[in-house]
Amino acid sequence: MHAADLMRSPLDLLEAEIVACRRCPRLVEWRERVAAEPRRSFGDQPYWGRPVPGFGDPGASLVVVGLAPAAHGANRTGRMFSGDRSGDWLYAALHRAGYASQPTSSGRGDGLTLRGAFVTAAVRCAPPDNKPTTLERDACHRYLERELELLEGARVYVALGAFALHALGTAFGLRPRPRFAHLAETALDGGRVVVSSYHPSQRNTFTRMLTTEMFDAVFERARALGG
């Protein structure tokens, strides 16, 4: 290990490993093609175009897990759940609940800090049609497991959608696999809890399958559980 690495935290070292990952050829090709051919509305912005690491407080009591970066969201900004409508919903809710220093995030270096919360995802590269394959999910799973191990103070895990819930179930060795329902709770050892939530996708928020009040209830419950 280089001397400089000895000065970095385990989470920092994991972040560097995630950002350098090229294990999944389809995802590498897609994320880089999107970055090379940006949307017209983002044409003046450089795209991140790499795997997106988790973001937040290393001492977090709450861990929020999503599916994967959006092609023109986190794949552009380099910060999980920023630069798109889903991120607008998430960071606004975290701000209302007292976890975030500001209600919006435009990307890395925008001044946002999280207090007691960490945001991550089951897959770190933007997948075509937002649908990673089973092999891609499994190749990325080790990063989620290692993050969860390093976030030793976490008490509550919020799974945004069934995909994230199943990833957490695998990481924690839950059998049978937990069933998804909004605000459903799955007990873990040591008094820890997984709370499920509908994902704040445009489809869910535009159809009001997920409302602001429903989303706020998730983080209110997380607080009550010690998150």
CB 180 within 8 A of CB 88: no
Enumerate residues 6+ apart whose C-beta is below 8 A from 148: 63, 154, 157, 171, 172
Structure tokens at 167: 């990833």
pLDDT at 1: 52
Count other Cβ atoms within 10 Å, centred on residue 41: 8
Q: Which of 226, 222, 225 is nearest to 96 (CA)?
A: 222
pLDDT at 2: 55
Strand bridging mode 193-197 / 185-187: antiparallel
pLDDT digit of tens for each residue in the chain (227 aa)?
555 555 789 999 999 999 999 999 999 999 999 999 999 889 889 999 999 999 999 999 999 999 999 999 999 999 999 999 999 999 999 999 999 999 999 999 999 999 999 999 999 999 999 999 999 999 999 999 999 999 999 999 999 999 999 999 999 999 999 999 999 999 999 999 999 999 999 999 999 999 999 999 999 999 999 99
Query: Cα separation of 18 and 132, whole Å?
Result: 17
pLDDT at 44: 87
CB 27 within 8 A of CB 136: yes
pLDDT at 43: 86
Strand partners, 157: 63, 194
pLDDT at 4: 53
pTM value is 0.95
Given phi > 0 = left and psi -120 to 50 = alpha, else beta, which region is 49? left
Q: Scanning the structure block, which residue is given the tokens 């994902």?
A: 199
The CATH code of domain 3-224 reads 3.40.470.10
pLDDT at 8: 87
